[in-house]
Structure 1
Amino acid sequence: MFKSQSYWRHSALAVCCIFTAPSASTSYGATASDGADAGERFRAQIEPILSKVCYDCHADGVEKGDFSLDDFESIEEHLADRKLWLKVWENLRAEMMPPAEKTQPSHDERLKVIAWIEKEVFKLDANNPDPGRVTIRRMNRVEYEHTVKDLLDVDFDAEEVLPADDTGYGFDTIGDVLSISPMLMEKYLEAARQVVSQAIVPQDPVIPSVSIEGEKFKATAPSKKTGKYLSFAQGGQVSTKRVIEHPGDYRFSIECRTQGSSEATSHSANLRVLVNGKDIGGDSLGWDNRKSITITAKGALGEGENILTLALQEDSPPQPDEKPLSLVISKVKIQGPLDGSYKVYPKDYYRIFFKGGAPKEPVARQAYTKDILRRIADRAFRRPVDDGTLDRLVKLSQLALDQPNAKFEDGIAYATTAILASPRFLFRAEIQPEPDNAGKIVPLDEYALASRLSYFLWSSLPDEELMELARKGELRENLDEQIDRLLADKKSQRFVENFVGQWLQTRDIEGVNVDPRRVLGIKDLSAAFKVFGSRQRRGMRLETETLFAFLLKENRSALELFTADYTFLNESLAKFYGITGVKGDEMQKVALPKDSHRGGIL
């Protein structure tokens, strides 16, 4: 069972963090090694211990096991014999030597020699560990899809453009196998063009509109009437207030429907639209089998607060054998000012062009270009873009703008294509202060840590909160909280699907070739597929993924992967398993009988 600390949290830390506190060991008082000092420390601190417990069998001409500890010309040669000291280190750690019947070193002496070998011979430094060579990881196809979705809100099918990723040890996230070739680079350039063509589209500003839900229109207290239900017979008025910044003529579109009878009736009413008490239009209503009716009117709205009222009045009552009707107002759309004095761009336009259209003045236009490209590049590169790179991107944008009939958006699109084809985007590079200094070992910077964390748990780039903490240098001190936040987000399901999908090969469940007729002993193919078809296959995949996600997010014991007396089922999978009492398509936790073999992953 797990300790009180979260196992899953610390698993994340192990993957995402470069350095932890040094592991407990006995220090023998040495600092950096160099020849003479190392020899002096050996003579003064280590050789007396070896002389007491080792030299009797492995020195002074005695070489039991063909092993000697004093056969060397110089101390430098002695310390350079890593093969010899590796044997000493292994036997001391395993307490295989000295033999039980021989003089034994004390516990502290044993640890002292082990620490000396690690420091002076193996060159290990617990205070500045060498992380080894870290291959720069290229994004795989899954990560590419999620990254462009979170960066530009584009749904892109990477499998249609990019070739399958190589795998190592069964996973497609191993940096050493995620190579890149000239052909793949061409594919990435094509992918970048396709993504940008969806993300950045020239658009013209339009007259703005806003929709107000019918339930927001309410009668004066104490009445509880709303626009969601107005009886023809009773009629009544419902109103709402609207603050207007841009006065002028507006168009009002009321989307509604009548209800109450499945057959035509003579029951009718009249709906009027009023602005600040003034009637601006309306229409008669009666039985109508359409799902939606639209009534339009046009009127002036002044600057500041305006009162919008919908008034219903019965025209003719139903006949005695007819059912009464009522009105349901779905929403009211308000559009204006109709003279075009104030326009806005479509909502999705502001995702890239956050200030709206481009300024006409050249200096302001270039500054806006720089602001847009900085926002995109900072997120795409997972760290602040340097000024030199940003200037080159602005120049690329200008090159596109210099073409005939080019629009401002075309320049941004051209530079954004370059961003998405850049190695800084395609590779999760972790830039260090002195990249050419092989002896310089430093912890990951905060931006690289944010990137590792988000790609581990979200298969995508860091969000605004992670980037802001990295910018402030506060991510490490808030790492536990951020891991909890990322796991709680629905995007963590990507980690579950990718990891479990490859570890337990659940990705293959829905596609593996199985003849249900042979497995089930049913001759008719259609009947066999009804028992075991695509719904049951999908349920089996979700069963395993949901179990893993449950253990992860609830901090349960990893042993429950094998010992769980419960599982997760929906109705179709439960029926296939012969388990009753499960309803609906959603996966739900189900307790299993004691003799059931359905629990866990085995």
Structure 2
Amino acid sequence: MPRFLLPALPLSALLLAAPASCTLAASAVAVPPPNAVQAMIENRCTDCHDAETKKGSLDLTALAFDLKNPKAYARWVKVFDRVEAGEMPPKGKAQPDEAALKGFLGQLGSKLIESDSQRAVTDGRATVRRMNRYEYENTVRDLLKAPWLQIKDKLPEDGEANRFNKVGDALDVSHVQMARYLTAADYALREVMADQQSRPSSKPVRYYARSEPSMVKKMFFSEFNRSPVRATFPILGYTAQPEVRAGKAPATAGEKDAAIRDQEAIGVVASSYEPIELRFNTFKAPRSGRYKLRFNAYAVWVGPGAEKAWWQPNLDVVSKGRRSEPVTIYSETPPRLLRLLGSFDVGVEPTVREIDTYLLKGETIRWDAVRLFRSRPPAPRNPLAEKDGQPGVAFKWMEVEGPLLQSWPDAGHKVLFENLPATRKDAKSPITVESKDPQDAERLLRRFLDRAYRQPCDEEDVKIFLGIIQKARGEGLDFANAMLAGYTAVLCSPKFFCLEEKPGKLDQSALASRLAYFLWNSAPDEALLKADLSDPKVLHQQTDRLLNNPKSRQFVDAFLNYWLDLRKMGATSPDAELYPDYYLDDLLIESAMLETQLFFAEMLKSNLPARTVIDSDFAMLNERLAQHYGLPPVQGVAVRKVALPKGSVRGGLMTQASVLSVTANGTTTSPVVRGVWIMERIVGKVPPPPPPSVPAIEPDTRGAHTIREQLEKHRAQQSCALCHTKIDPAGFALENFDVMGGWREQYRAMGEGTSPPGYGKNGQRFAFHAAQNVDASGELPNGGGAFKDIRGLKDLLVKDETQIARNLTSQLITYSTGAPVRFGDRAVVEQILQGTAADGYRLRSLIHALVGTDLFQSK
């Protein structure tokens, strides 16, 4: 396709293209602080914070009272907070009297609020921002009615500020960014195009496991090479077929004998790993879209037992009714790029399970019996093996129905070309669209612009993009490619990918966009755009409608990905030697992430109190999580709400495997890291960063010293003790939880020691040994109380549920408005809390209260 040129971008795009750090210096003529502020500094502060002493790298004698300067403003806010909290002047120093303290806080606070108010009037609270790549993908999906589109990975990683990818200061637009937008937009548009004569068949097609070359090849490979890994084995009903495995009998009966064909299966006693990846790669999705996948499989028990080599080819396969087995389904794009589609349980009799999902063109399907072990050399042993055998899963067939279409061409194509004739010479030829009316281009463009811009387009925009289409036609492009040039330019224009808001009260379309990108992480739908959001009752109803829509899950996932760092789940793997029972356990990782997502979704659905993030009488569990947590058994792979036993250490966010994983490194845990995480994410009291000259403490994996002993030496330094006294206690309460959230009374260590009996999921004997006992006790600073373990910490934290709600509200404000809570916003936060206190600061109530404020409804 010939290249086309975009028109000159508007000034707003040029401003956005500058790096976020290139802000205009807002220097002003230095003015002295208010009298009470100046008096406090001179009488109580300069002993420690002058040019010579400069404690905490703060020289108040040189700090200009220039509140238009962001750095100076932030310094003065910090000074206010430290004095208000009673931390400054420090204990042991002369303290100001009540009148001096009141005058200092009153005068400084009023100046800070005044500065915030002036900035909001002229510039707004938040910087104009572009969509982040998740929002861009969701918006393009909704615009083109193609929920299966995958384009976020074609865009660069987004910047972060205040821990979110929603803050304009971190979302600049570079030349690289624009080039990626062009690529992603062009790809998305071409993916939804279709020719009218080539409607794909949606008739169900069955793919038998015994006919899959990849599975049969692994079966013979394992036998002929005498591999110590028994990859797969043929089954007829519940009978093993060593002759088939040895190549002395045909692998499948084929279509000639339907009765035999229906009994054929491929069996495994190991979970998927590189030599054993059971793929249905005869199937490749012919087109991106929605599919129904049906699977027939069943659980088996494989003999003769663990006393013999378990890979011998004369194994018997029988149905003993032992238990069902969980199976996970992935789509796969070469080379080995997996995407989770879903999980289900198969019973001891052949079971048909269905997954309704979206596939991308060319994707194949892989399934995995995830409870089974993943053998690794040199000499693995199945940890699930018993004297009379071991569990396995037999896979019979997969049936594919799709792509499922409501019409043809489908909705995405019609967004671009309505019902204009679309044809192609053959499958490899480009699609051409026939236009006989000279007004088609302008008519289609106007329709597209109105939808893309989330408001009626103006004539100047039509003129610009119609010019691109006409220029492309003049350069020889056909109608379809010329229109795609114009559409691509629209999807790369600031009015599309920027959330354009003007200082002051948001207009109806801007407010609709803010609400939708808050609760759907995508563009507003037609109902929201048409609603009278100036009416508080309508705004409340629309907020509820968005929250009740399945698309609100996009809010839940995106919010947790950054508030709790859930996106980092699985970024580090449990150590193969210290934690072989977790190593390679994808089911545990996937279940842990889903647990936290469904937990927060339950808080939202049931409007649970903010204190639920600290403690709850329920957890979202499946069989693997219940086993991992040492809770009463739960049957099946589905994660659902389960009541916790009285006195359980679980409940709330802090004891969930996902949180405990992202706050560990896969090998060791650190009370410092976890303590900082709790203070920042849950309590909302951000500790200062460590001095650059102080190295991090490396835990002793040999077990000679506990992390508590190492930290006691560290805190012996006065400069370190000040911060660690605040940080460490909460982190110590989590020391009973290992790198994946399993409960422990002792640390694990390598080296000399008696290893416990057992084998990991990798089939290797445990090499670690139990080391020193865990001490999870601590005492919160400033008289916050002492605790013995996580239960005690929860009891202390939940006493101040107002602070928990204050932090949760602040996180929601940053996420929804694209700006952190500024000093001048604090009164609004307290207003939200006062309005929801009587009901226990319930999550949905907090969201409604936030949406109803001028803070949310203004830039």
- Offset at residue 360 of structure 1 (A): 5.6
CA displacement 1:242-285 (0-9 Å, x = unmatched): xxxxxxxxxxxxxxxxxxx9599xxxxxxxxxxxxxxxxxxxxx
Query: How do 1:201-216 and structure 2 match up within 5 A?
Result: 201=194, 203-204=195-196
* TM-score where L is the length of structure 1: 0.52
Residue in 2 that maps onto 1:553: 605
Q: Is contact 2:137-2:152 (8 Å) kept?
A: no
**Counterparts of 2:98 and 2:139, CA distance in 1:** 60
Instruction: Describe the SS at the equivalent of 2:413.
Output: helix
1:137 aligns with 2:209: no
Residue in 2 that maps onto 1:424: 495
Residue in 2 that maps onto 1:196: 189
Q: In structure 2, do the counterparts of structure 1 residues 553 and 400 end up closer, same or farther at CA, with 3 Å as the change threshold?
A: same
Amino acid at match of 1:452: R
Residue in 2 that maps onto 1:184: 177
Instruction: Describe the SS at the equivalent of 2:189.
Output: helix
1:544 aligns with 2:603: no
Amino acid at match of 2:493: S
The structure number with the bigger radius of gyration is 1
Residue in 2 that maps onto 1:280: none
Q: In structure 2, do the counterparts of structure 1 residues 372 and 467 end up closer, same or farther at CA, with 3 Å as the change threshold?
A: farther
Residue in 1 that maps onto 2:652: 600
* TM-score where L is the length of structure 2: 0.37
Residue correspondences, number:
368
**Counterparts of 2:635 and 2:464, CA distance in 1:** 59
**Counterparts of 2:408 and 2:145, CA distance in 1:** 20
From 463, 469, 484, the equivalent of 1:391 is 463
Instruction: Describe the SS at the equivalent of 1:590.
Output: strand
Q: In structure 2, do the counterparts of structure 1 residues 175 and 550 end up closer, same or farther at CA, with 3 Å as the change threshold?
A: same
Q: In structure 2, do the counterparts of structure 1 residues 474 and 263 end up closer, same or farther at CA, with 3 Å as the change threshold?
A: same
- Offset at residue 590 of structure 1 (A): 0.8
- Offset at residue 539 of structure 1 (A): 0.8
Residue in 2 that maps onto 1:326: none
Q: In structure 2, do the counterparts of structure 1 residues 514 and 207 end up closer, same or farther at CA, with 3 Å as the change threshold?
A: closer
**Counterparts of 1:361 and 1:158, CA distance in 2:** 33
Amino acid at match of 1:462: P
Amino acid at match of 1:135: T
CA displacement 1:452-497 (0-9 Å, x = unmatched): 111111111111111222xx66576511111111111111111111
Residue in 2 that maps onto 1:169: 162
Q: In structure 2, do the counterparts of structure 1 residues 499 and 393 end up closer, same or farther at CA, with 3 Å as the change threshold?
A: same
Instruction: Describe the SS at the equivalent of 2:641.
Output: strand
**Counterparts of 1:142 and 1:175, CA distance in 2:** 15
Residue in 2 that maps onto 1:466: 528
From 133, 138, 147, the equivalent of 1:146 is 138
Query: How do 1:53-68 and structure 2 match up within 5 A?
Result: none
**Counterparts of 2:637 and 2:126, CA distance in 1:** 44
Residue in 1 that maps onto 2:443: 371
Amino acid at match of 2:492: A
- Offset at residue 344 of structure 1 (A): 7.5
Amino acid at match of 2:127: T
Residue in 2 that maps onto 1:352: 416
CA displacement 1:47-98 (0-9 Å, x = unmatched): xxx9xxx9xxx9xxxx9999xxxxxxxxxxxxxx999xx99xx99x98x999
**Counterparts of 2:576 and 2:627, CA distance in 1:** 16
**Counterparts of 1:187 and 1:465, CA distance in 2:** 32
Instruction: Describe the SS at the equivalent of 2:614.
Output: helix
**Counterparts of 1:177 and 1:64, CA distance in 2:** 40
CA displacement 1:394-417 (0-9 Å, x = unmatched): 23223333454713x223211101
Amino acid at match of 2:128: I
CA RMSD of aligned residues (A): 4.7
**Counterparts of 1:147 and 1:82, CA distance in 2:** 41
Amino acid at match of 2:527: E
- Offset at residue 533 of structure 1 (A): 0.4
Instruction: Describe the SS at the equivalent of 1:553.
Output: helix
Instruction: Describe the SS at the equivalent of 1:568.
Output: strand
Amino acid at match of 1:184: Q
Q: Is contact 2:619-2:643 (8 Å) kept?
A: yes
Residue in 2 that maps onto 1:494: 554
Q: Is contact 1:168-1:177 (8 Å) kept?
A: yes
Residue in 2 that maps onto 1:157: 150
Query: How do 1:32-431 and structure 2 match up within 5 A?
Result: 122=114, 132-154=124-146, 155-201=148-194, 203-204=195-196, 262=259, 345=409, 348-357=412-421, 361-362=436-437, 365-366=438-439, 368-404=440-476, 406-407=478-479, 409-430=480-501
Residue in 1 that maps onto 2:505: 443
Q: In structure 2, do the counterparts of structure 1 residues 101 and 381 end up closer, same or farther at CA, with 3 Å as the change threshold?
A: closer
**Counterparts of 2:498 and 2:514, CA distance in 1:** 12
Q: Which runs of 5+ in 1 are unaligned?
A: 1-49, 67-80, 212-260, 265-330, 332-342, 433-440, 523-527
Q: Is contact 1:345-1:356 (8 Å) kept?
A: no
Q: Is contact 2:420-2:434 (8 Å) kept?
A: no
**Counterparts of 2:151 and 2:197, CA distance in 1:** 32
Instruction: Describe the SS at the equivalent of 1:518.
Output: coil
**Counterparts of 2:554 and 2:113, CA distance in 1:** 44
**Counterparts of 1:565 and 1:199, CA distance in 2:** 47
- Offset at residue 443 of structure 1 (A): 0.5
- Offset at residue 422 of structure 1 (A): 0.9
- Offset at residue 133 of structure 1 (A): 4.7
Instruction: Describe the SS at the equivalent of 2:642.
Output: strand
- Offset at residue 123 of structure 1 (A): 7.8
Report which stretch shifted further, 384-393 or 579-588: 579-588
Q: In structure 2, do the counterparts of structure 1 residues 539 and 133 end up closer, same or farther at CA, with 3 Å as the change threshold?
A: same
Q: In structure 2, do the counterparts of structure 1 residues 99 and 581 end up closer, same or farther at CA, with 3 Å as the change threshold?
A: closer
CA displacement 1:307-341 (0-9 Å, x = unmatched): xxxxxxxxxxxxxxxxxxxxxxxx9xxxxxxxxxx
**Counterparts of 1:565 and 1:464, CA distance in 2:** 40
Amino acid at match of 1:141: R
Residue in 1 that maps onto 2:568: 508
Instruction: Describe the SS at the equivalent of 1:547.
Output: helix
Residue in 1 that maps onto 2:616: 564
Instruction: Describe the SS at the equivalent of 1:552.
Output: helix
- Offset at residue 554 of structure 1 (A): 1.3
Q: In structure 2, do the counterparts of structure 1 residues 581 and 123 end up closer, same or farther at CA, with 3 Å as the change threshold?
A: closer
Q: Which runs of 5+ in 2 are unaligned?
A: 1-34, 46-64, 68-75, 87-94, 204-257, 262-400, 402-406, 422-432, 655-859
Instruction: Describe the SS at the equivalent of 2:610.
Output: coil
- Offset at residue 447 of structure 1 (A): 0.9
**Counterparts of 2:411 and 2:653, CA distance in 1:** 46
From 525, 531, 541, the equivalent of 1:481 is 541
Q: In structure 2, do the counterparts of structure 1 residues 135 and 122 end up closer, same or farther at CA, with 3 Å as the change threshold?
A: closer
CA displacement 1:505-556 (0-9 Å, x = unmatched): 2222223221254125x6xxxxx65xx6001111111111111111122111
Amino acid at match of 2:150: D
